[in-house]
Structure 1
Amino acid sequence: GSGQAPALSPEQSTPSITADASQRPIEDGQERAKQVLEGAGAAVPPTAVPSPRRIPSHLQPAGFSFSNRRVTTGQSSLDHAWEPGDHQRFRLRVGPNYKKYGRKEPSGPVLLELLEVDLFKSSALVHNLGEFIALPEPRVPVPEGSAVPPIFVVHGSLPFEAPSMLGNSNGPTLNAVFYFGLREETQQALASLETAPKAVQLLETFCRSAHADPSVFNRFKCIGMLRNYEEVGMPSIMKGYNGKPVLIRNRSAVKGGSGVMDQQQDSIIMHVNVRLWPLLARTGLHTLFGASAKCDLDVGFTIEGRADDELPEVLLGAVHIAHLRLDELPQWPPPIGGGGAKLSHQEGSQRGGGAVPGRGRRVDGDGRGGSTATTGISDQPSPSSSHR
């Protein structure tokens, strides 16, 4: 009844997942979110941010592959560059009774600050970013007792090859990596969680429970939106999906799922393998590759709210990327000897120096843990036992 396009992943009606929801009065969440996230929340006693760490020589700093961030305001357009996205461009769910009325409004301010962006090509899927990228330093510490990590990363793996009915389990890949950190306003809200906006409570629940509960994991949503759809010349059949959310489901728990969570004490990395998306979605994204130099694109992420006590939804974070020239993006790891050879597992361990302390364990949405490979690049699909 909301007039939105059919979802690429079906939405399910499930009970609220925020704590003690039935005991809290339903307040005007939209106004509360605006007040807290624009700085009206209670002050949090200052906590020292850790001193800058030295990055090991075998690691690349976050943002190494695509440092073209726009820092000058007032420019009419971006050119092969990125900037934090505009939250008001994204229309998200609001109550009351979204299931009946299907109402959406522009999102309130994002919960997480965009710190860095990486865009690079690889010969195959990258399974463990921590093997060769040092995550950015957190700018805001996490309140004591919160499950929300100081760094939240989304890593999308997009296939370069033309889509087919059967799909390809591995191959040349465009890696899009977005690094987010806490905003001070979100930190303040987390410190007073009982009175925090519903979206902040939902973020806390997601970070605390998604690794063990697929029904929570499956709330994660990606939203892609072309500002210049007509100019790019996308297929008309895809127009209804522009700006519509896609649910990212746990790969190890749901048939057709495309998501994996790597969770550590100081970070969460959400891996999204687009190779596992439906054919229509892969076809649309492949069309974008041929027109990337024209594209003016917004990408955002949120956690799905369903019951009134989980609404309104608010963006976790967003990025604006425009006029991307794919041929200028680096190949990583670089070809060995300049001859186009692929990085093998053995060569990767020799060059990469082995596992990075604190980043060698993967936890998927079914709650099981497993050791990751010695290198982050794989020319073969991971076996099912690796908890993809």
Structure 2
Amino acid sequence: MCSSKHMQMHHNHQRSSTAASAMGDWREEAINRGSLKHVDLNTGSNGWAAPPGDHFSVRGPNYPTKKGKTPAGEWLLDPAGVDWIRSNGRLDNLLARRDNRVMNALRASKKSSETFIVAVNLQIPGREHHSVVFYFSSKEGEPISSNPLLNNFVNGSDEYRDSRFKIVNKIVKGPRILKTAVGRYSACLLGKAVSCCYHRGADYLEIDVDIGSSTVASAILRLALGCVKAVTVDLGFLVEGQTEEELPEKLFGAVRICQMEMSSAMFVDVAAPTATSNKVFPVDSDEH
């Protein structure tokens, strides 16, 4: 009798696991097909991982009076993959392209009507343009509107977004000169420091960050790219809280970039694909 009960519990667990897996299939596909592979947080290289929110210090509930900071806690959104891509021109509004793999995976799923994507596209100028794109998706049962500050950011004006879009970062591994340079800007309003363009779709917001628009950001980036294979960096993205009602701050997403290699970037033509094209960038991760 105990054996029969155990078997029944095992089958129930299998069914619930299968159901949960089916619900998350589109996000698993988005993560696994990224041009930058998903790796172990502590031992991975040439890839990305999702660091816990508590790795970051953000404005706490008493910040207006005492300037106190607290660990950020759980992210508001879930990671949904990272793309490391190169192109023959600057890539803007990637999520509107017919070949964007994350939006294609989402819209092919049964979750498309209730899931929202926020993407941050860090655009790196040069002889060949590069972009590192971070995708984050709303959690099941937690629409964007459930967090008033994030909802205001997603649906607000570009001026509001510029005044609130913030990055917190930390060099986990890298040369001292880079840690010193980045440390001075460990928390920065990106919307004020560099030029940002915001693209709002029905189910997404993409933030295109032009690193080349700031001499300071460009100098730090050149320093980082010079030793990129030896650098591991944590990046946290959030909407800045400015009043007591908006605090403590919460990250909407966080990513660790682990000793990335420039040569691993996937090429994407700046010209958008035609309606008849079935190419989806990038290719399966097992082709790295």
TM-score range, shorter chain: 0.7 to 0.9
Match of 1:85 in 2: 51
Output the CA distance in 2 between the equivalents of 1:62 and 1:273. 24
Higher strand share: 2
Match of 1:66 in 2: 35
Mapped contact 1:226–1:243 kept (Cα < 8 A): no
Q: Select which of 304, 314, 330 maps to 2:250.
A: 314
Mapped contact 2:79–2:136 kept (Cα < 8 A): yes
Give RMSD over aligned pairs.
3.1
Matches within 5 A, 1:219-368: 219-228=164-173, 231-235=174-178, 238-241=181-184, 243-249=186-192, 257-277=194-214, 279-333=215-269, 348=271, 352-353=273-274
Q: TM-score, normalised by structure 1?
A: 0.57
Look up the SS of the partner of 2:229 in the other structure: coil
Alpha carbons of 1:235 and 1:107: their partners in 2 closer, same or farther (altered >3 Å)? closer
Match of 1:58 in 2: none
Q: Which amino acid aligns with 2:181?
A: M
Q: Deviations for 1:226-270, whole angstroms, at most 9, x for unmatched residues?
A: 112xx4242575153253233314xxxxxx751111111111111
Find out whether 1:209 has 2:156 as its counterpart.
Answer: yes
Find out whether 1:126 has 2:91 as its counterpart.
Answer: yes
Shift of 1:152: 1.2
Shift of 1:271: 0.8
Find out whether 1:181 has 2:137 as its counterpart.
Answer: yes
Q: Which amino acid aligns with 1:321?
A: I
Output the CA distance in 2 between the equivalents of 1:355 and 1:62. 25
Output the CA distance in 1 between the equivalents of 2:167 and 2:58. 12
Alpha carbons of 1:353 and 1:112: their partners in 2 closer, same or farther (altered >3 Å)? same
Shift of 1:78: 1.2
Shift of 1:108: 1.6
Q: TM-score, normalised by structure 2?
A: 0.74
Shift of 1:330: 2.5
Shift of 1:220: 0.9
Higher helix share: 2
* Structure 1 residue ranges (4+ consecutive) displaced by more than 6 angstroms after TM superposition: none
How many equivalent pairs are there? 247
Shift of 1:305: 0.5
Mapped contact 1:234–1:284 kept (Cα < 8 A): no
Shift of 1:65: 5.3
Q: Which amino acid aligns with 1:66?
A: S
Q: Which amino acid aligns with 1:206?
A: F
Look up the SS of the partner of 1:184 in the other structure: coil
Identity %: 21
Mapped contact 2:106–2:112 kept (Cα < 8 A): no
Output the CA distance in 1 between the equivalents of 2:56 and 2:113. 27
Mapped contact 1:69–1:81 kept (Cα < 8 A): yes
Mapped contact 1:206–1:217 kept (Cα < 8 A): no
Alpha carbons of 1:81 and 1:328: their partners in 2 closer, same or farther (altered >3 Å)? same
